[in-house]
Amino acid sequence: MAAAGDRQALPLAHKTAIVTGAGQGLGRAIAIALAQAGAHVAVTHRRAAGAMAVAEEISACGGDAIGLELDVTETGCYQRVLDAAAEWGSGLDILVNCAGGMHPFTPFLEVDQATFDATLARNFKSAFFLSQAFAGMLVKAGRPGRIVNIASTAATKPDMQLAAYNAAKAALVQFGKSIAVELAPHAILVNTVAPGPVRTDNTRWIYDNPKWQAALRDKVPLGGPADAEDVAAAVLFLCGPGARHMTGSTVTVDGGFTCL
């Protein structure tokens, strides 16, 4: 990362970002990318140790980060975490809703209410109410900002036996469009990134399997899964000056997966 003096010229210098689900995988890559662009980054994860590890990784490379414990299914703790991040960073500018996750592959006729509720809570309800609290703080302060939601190509190209997850990600896309209109007068821009297959530490065992590699060559025009850093690059763009006239948009990062 850039030296302290050089960081002032970076595109996100003087901005404070909070990233959910940032203790691993996509969230970790996004937090690192934002820090490399000069942002102060509040790394959150459901396990404090995971958040702290990524924050320490960023700090060791010359970035500015803090680790905060946040279980996104516990809506009652949102304001406390946002307040802590705002106090540390002298305000908030960017929210990236990355926390989420699939439920086990389950036929629709066998999905129980507990699985449905848990999936919607992780992937949609959390982003809804965390964005509400975040935007409320910015509106009260008269401060512009950015919200980026991490959805999935499953929102438009659903996967078999993942009905609740597909529905949650589709809801997240439409939610972004809805609040983009309402928050535009406050200069709060809301966009969505929809990744396709992505290689992370958690999915590497799948995408490094020769059988999966062969299958993806037929399904992904660019020949394979994205890396987490590819998705992070899209998020970074949406948080930067180049996206100042974008709101309500969905950026797909899938190597052409949804084209077939």
Residue 8 has what pLDDT?
Answer: 79
Q: Note the pTM of the prediction, 2 decimals.
A: 0.96
For 149, which DSSP code? E
What's the whole-number mean pLDDT along residues 17-40? 98
Burial class (CB in 10 A: 0-12, 13-18, 19+), 142: exposed
pLDDT in tens, 225-258: 999 999 999 999 999 999 999 999 999 999 999 9
Both tokens assigned to 131: 């964005």
With vertex at residue 133, the alpha carbon angle to CA 170 and CA 27, rounded to the nearest 5 degrees, is: 55
Confidence of residue 4 (pLDDT cuts 50, 70, 90): low
Neighbouring residues of 260: CB distance < 8 A, sequence distance ≥ 6: 219, 221
3-state secondary structure of 207: helix
What's the whole-number mean pLDDT along residues 115-143? 99
Residue 52 has what pLDDT?
Answer: 99
Which active-site residues does the annotation give? 152, 165, 169
- What percent of the chain lies above the pLDDT cut of 70? 98
CATH superfamily entry for domain 6-252: NAD(P)-binding Rossmann-like Domain (3.40.50.720)
Residue 5 has what pLDDT?
Answer: 57
Residue 2 has what pLDDT?
Answer: 66
pLDDT in tens, 68-97: 999 999 999 999 999 999 999 999 999 999
Q: How far is CA 83 from CA 18, 80, 88, 122, in A?
A: 11, 5, 9, 21
Residue bearing tokens 């924050």:
55
Residue 226 has what pLDDT?
Answer: 96
pLDDT in tens, 192-208: 999 999 999 888 888 88
